[in-house]
Amino acid sequence: MTDLLKTKLTRRAVLQTAAIGAFGVDPALRAAVYAGGSDAPEKTEVKIGFIPLTDCASVVMASVLGIDQKYGVKIIPSKESSWAGVRDKLVSGELDFAHVLYGLIYGVHLGIGGPKKDMAAMMTINNNGQAISLSKKLADKGAVDGAGLAKLMAAEKREYTFAQTFPTGTHAMWLYYWMAANGINPMSDSKVITVPPPQMVANMRVGNMDGFCVGEPWNHRAIIDGIGVTATTTQDIWRDHPEKVLGTTGDFVKKYPNTARAVTAAVLEASKWIDASLSNKNKMAETIADKSYVNTSVDAINQRILGRYQNGMGKTWDDPNYMKFYNDGAVNFPYLSDGMWFLTQHKRWGLLKEHPDYLAVAKQINQIDIYKQAATATKTPVPKDAMRSSKLMDGIVWDGKDPKKYAESFKIKV
């Protein structure tokens, strides 16, 4: 056995021991008990795709800690290179589940983000923790925030290029919302391109874009590498916004409902573990920084998951609304209104030509009943209402009550 393999196995054993301490019973023993009932998972080994981002952590840790075994399943994390690749593998069945953009699931379901396929969102994986970065060149000219960017774009006329990670995804919607709130029409005043998250920093380094919206650790990496600055965090656009989901197809849920519940419960329990302590967060950062997962330095991950921010220009702050995976269960409930919000923005920016039946689509996709079962298994609190109300950066309140009116209300739109 090589020293490297010994090290990896030893590390896994240590983490699993920590998990057993946290949960009180050997996961393998609990799996045997669980799998003995009639609600045993129909499929016991599942492949879950993930993109190298900090918010893949709950999927990775569910596997590394052996939490999956407790629920009678084995999670095989599968590192993917782009969101388009994740979409294609989910649709084809090559992946059973994925750590995936909320808006991607909705886009595919409606046939605007690739081939049309009924999709399912089992749970929200995280709130907050993304950011918009602008190039150091723009920052040196005063574009250090939205107002500064708008001023520079008005003064220095040229083609400005901004990157998001998938056309119907969360990062595209945060980028567009932020630009529009600062008086910039992303569709007519700039060029928008799609770039996979791990390639953002390299593309900015060679001058392919002026700014980008992406998940961590790539915004912090741009600061470490001295090529970009953080203009805003996504939690400043929408505090406690939904971000990634545990996604699969509608067919998978129908065929393997017990497996869907078991995997949701495992990822939910891993989410709880991450948020339980500072030491757990640090263990998580050390684990996912590995080449097999995010492939970056631990310091690129661990600062922002603890709420320790810097903007790359000397400003530092402690952000209470950093990336959260559980937050006493507040993160994970698949609110219907969260899914509907993405549809309103898809309509706003011309991705949807007509208004959909917003509520009906959300009810098809968000698997609230299965989530509630997983929440019971993990002793996770569940809200009374499937809708929630939020105030975004421009003061506009979103509550899901009149999505058509909301989608039409914006001054800047397609």
Q: Where are the domains of the chain?
A: 3-127+242-299+324-334+356-385
Average pLDDT for residues 363-368, to the nearest whole number? 98
Average pLDDT for residues 100-115, to the nearest whole number? 96
Which residues make beta-bridge pairs with 88? none
Average pLDDT of the chain is 93
Residue 39 has pLDDT above 70, yes or no: yes
Which DSSP category does 167 fall into? T
H runs (alpha helix) in 182-233: 200-205, 218-224
Which DSSP category does 317 fall into? E
3-127+242-299+324-334+356-385: CATH number: 3.40.190.10
Residue 64 has pLDDT above 80, yes or no: yes
pTM of the model: 0.92
Residue 5 has pLDDT above 60, yes or no: no
- pLDDT confidence tier of residue 13, bands split at 50, 70 and 90: low
Tell me the pLDDT tens digit for each residue of 158-188: 999 999 999 999 999 999 999 999 999 999 9
For 225, how many CA atoms within 13 A lie in the half-sphere containing its CB? 20
- pLDDT confidence tier of residue 30, bands split at 50, 70 and 90: very low
Tell me the pLDDT tens digit for each residue of 232-273: 999 999 999 999 999 999 999 999 999 999 999 999 999 999
Q: For residues 93 and 191, give the distance between their C-alpha atoms in angstroms, rounded to a whole number.
A: 34
